[in-house]
Structure 1
Amino acid sequence: MAKTELNNADLKSAARQAPEIDPARVTLQYTGFAWREYQVVVPDGFVAADLNEAPDAWRKIQSGGRNAFRKFDRVMVVAYDESWLAETIVAHADHKSVVFAKPRITTLPARFDKLFETEEYRVKFLGSGSYAVERKRDGAIVTQPVASSELAARDLNNLYPRKVA
């Protein structure tokens, strides 16, 4: 009978990689004399546990932009689908990683308003405040993303032919 052993090298290679944060998703909220406050919308696939377990996910932000985090900066991290947010303070920052001090995670409630849909199409929230029309049968996005659910509902209505009087 063969003995199965796991070593640390095997475990590290099997660990999931957190997606890197795009610097374009970092918004400066406030800058003061001692610290700054930011809002960051993390990409799809980034989970709250990655705040502590993936300090290198912030490499693109830290590699030289004007929004590179410094110690004591306040950061509000918002999930791509707006299902949770975390308020945290930068405990350590260098040119390739960020370590946060005890993030306070808040779960946000699901949508309470139903998005418009028909038998063939539905308005879908794409995250980061954008909406588009999705075809139900295959899940394909059939319109360009827009800023509000009302604009997406208008686009959905425009997919159908109009009756001529």
Structure 2
Amino acid sequence: MSKSALNAADLKSIARQAPDIDPARVTLQSTGFVWREYLVRVPVDFVADDLKEPGVWRKLQNGSRNALRKFDRVTVVAYDETWLAEAIVASADVKGAVLAKPKITTMPARFDKLFEDDKYRVAWNGFGYVVERKSDGHPMTQATANAELATRLLTQLYPARVA
């Protein structure tokens, strides 16, 4: 077996499978006479290059009320909100959707640091702000709409003196 054939076989075995987009994470922004606009939050291990794969949309395209159609506008937001992509659907069927030239925008880093103490920290988990235990990353609260509310929940994790 030649060296190049071996390398090709190795590459196929370690090829990365792009994660499917969850239909529950697709939100209709607006609907018009011709096209609709959607906001899509992708899974944690999704990278911008996965947008080239039409198959990542198969779950959404298979019977979902938000199935994409040609000319729909899509804004795709990374799990950690470090980047977003804006695109127009070029074609769509039950097997997937093809996006026309996604425009990738890198979001700037946070200027304000989220609150943390010696045991817990406030963190973004893709759904909202949660309080995580630092030792193992376990979420201690439900997701909240803003960091201030998560900070308040962090203080409630400590026992309070009863008078």
TM-score of the pair, normalised by structure 2: 0.91
Which residue of structure 1 lines up, in the alignment, with residue 39 of structure 2? 39
What secondary structure, in the 3-state scheme, does the structure 1 residue paired with 2:125 have?
Answer: strand
Q: CA separation in 2, counterparts of 1:33 and 1:75?
A: 16
Residue identity matched to 2:85: A
Query: Over the residues paired in the alignment, what is the CA RMSD in angstroms?
Result: 1.8
Q: CA separation in 1, counterparts of 2:109 and 2:149?
A: 21
What secondary structure, in the 3-state scheme, does the structure 2 residue paired with 1:49 have?
Answer: helix
Per-residue deviation at 1:123? 0.8
Which residue of structure 1 lines up, in the alignment, with residue 143 of structure 2? 145
Residue identity matched to 2:157: L
**Deviation digits for residues 91-132 of structure 1 (CA, Å, limit 9, x no counterpart):** 11111111111100000011111111111111111123x111
What secondary structure, in the 3-state scheme, does the structure 2 residue paired with 1:127 have?
Answer: coil
User: 4+ residue stretches of structure 1 with deviation over 6 A?
Assistant: none
Q: CA separation in 2, counterparts of 1:160 and 1:18?
A: 41
Q: CA separation in 2, counterparts of 1:95 and 1:81?
A: 28
Per-residue deviation at 1:164? 3.7
Per-residue deviation at 1:3? 4.4
Which residues of structure 2 form unaligned runs of 5+?
A: none
What secondary structure, in the 3-state scheme, does the structure 1 residue paired with 2:40 have?
Answer: strand
Which residue of structure 1 lines up, in the alignment, with residue 21 of structure 2? 21
Q: CA separation in 2, counterparts of 1:9 and 1:101?
A: 31
Which residue of structure 2 lines up, in the alignment, with residue 85 of structure 1? 84
Q: Aligned pair in 2 of structure 1 residues 148, 22: CA closer, same or farther (>3 Å)?
A: same
**Number of residues paired by the alignment?**
162
Percent identity of equivalent pairs: 66
What secondary structure, in the 3-state scheme, does the structure 2 residue paired with 1:92 have?
Answer: strand
Alignment of 1:122 with 2:117, yes or no, is no
Residue identity matched to 1:91: A
